[in-house]
Amino acid sequence: MIPHVPPMNKPLKMAVFVSGSGTNLQAIIDSQIKGVEIALVFSNNPGAYALKRARSHGIPVRSLSHRDFPSRVAYDREVLAVVEPFGVGLVVLAGYMRILSPMIIRAYRYRIMNLHPALLPSFPGTNSIKRAMEYGVKVTGCTVHFVDEGMDTGPIIIQSVVRIREDDTLESLTERVHGEEHRILPEAIRLFAEGRLRIEGRRVKVLL
């Protein structure tokens, strides 16, 4: 299966979902990926600094607090209503701290990417960098993957390894992992926009 590829000489419109400061959003903006337009930045946190970053670059923003909705399904139904008018072909979860309901996953099947701060399938879920360090692994890193209905279980697009040093603190390790996140997330988006990702079962092949 080949993910959605934008028509020739038309940009790939992308929605970036965020919850916090938006450093990965800034990395995407700074990368200026050819053939990609950030059509929308969406957040479940109306106070997220990422929204300020987007506004400063003239990018449309929308926010809905999940606390205002009675259920995940009700919230995600409204999220879809917000996103669909922008005509996006790719949704990127860049520090979006909510699990998507199957409703959104079905609407954008193999067109949702997530960035995770560990080498999946190790350490899915939250606090992954801290958990990796406490477990005593010698390497950790970060992963960009397509989103499916599981918890960080979708087909892996790209990963980067970060070695854990003897003198690392949680802060120093986190800084290096984030540095790799800022590198591989724009790269995964670029490969998608170029139509170079082919999904075969659990494997994502990068076409030359």
- Which residue in this structure is represented by tokens 């400061």? 21
pLDDT in tens, 137-188: 999 999 999 999 999 999 999 999 999 999 999 999 999 999 999 999 999 9
For the chain, how many structural domains are there in total? 1
Answer yes or no: is pLDDT of 8 > 70: no
Tell me the Cα Rg of the chain: 17
Residue 34 lies in a domain: yes
pLDDT recorded at residue 100: 95
d(CA 15, CA 96): 12
Q: What are phi and psi of 170, to 5 degrees?
A: -60, -35
Q: Residue 64, SS3?
A: coil
In this structure, is residue 144 part of a structural domain?
A: yes
Amino acid identity at 154: G
Position 5 in a domain: no
Q: What is the per-residue burial (b if ≥16 Cβ within 10 Å, else e) of 134-154?
A: eeeeeebbbbbbbbbeeebeb
Instruction: Give the model confidence (pLDDT) of 97-116 as tens digits.
Output: 999 999 999 999 999 999 99
pLDDT score of 9:
58
Token pair 């959104």 is at which residue? Answer: 104
Residue 29 lies in a domain: yes
The Cα–Cα gap between 152 and 169 comes to 25
Q: Is residue 168 part of a domain?
A: yes
Of 37, 49, 43, 38, residue with least CA distance to 18:
43
Is the residue at 1 inside a domain?
no
| Whole-prediction pTM | 0.94
Residue 1, pLDDT score: 58
pLDDT in tens, 53-83: 999 999 999 999 999 999 999 999 999 999 9
pLDDT over 60 (residue 5): no
* pLDDT for residue 3: 60
The residues annotated as belonging to the active site are 116
**Amino acid letter for position 171:** E
> At residue 85, does pLDDT exceed 90?
yes
Residue 53 inside a domain? The answer is yes
Q: Which residue has the higher pLDDT, 1 or 183?
A: 183
Q: Is residue 129 included in any domain, yes or no?
A: yes
**pLDDT attached to residue 10:** 77
pLDDT at 6 over 60: no
Reduced DSSP (H G I as helix, E B as strand, rest coil) percent helix, strand, coil of the chain, to 5? 35, 25, 40
CATH of the domain at 181: 3.40.50.170
pLDDT, mean over the chain = 95
Whether 91 has a pLDDT exceeding 80, the answer reads yes
* Stretch 6-27: mean pLDDT: 88
Domain range spanning residue 136?
12-203
Residues 108 and 133 sit within 8 Å (Cβ to Cβ): no
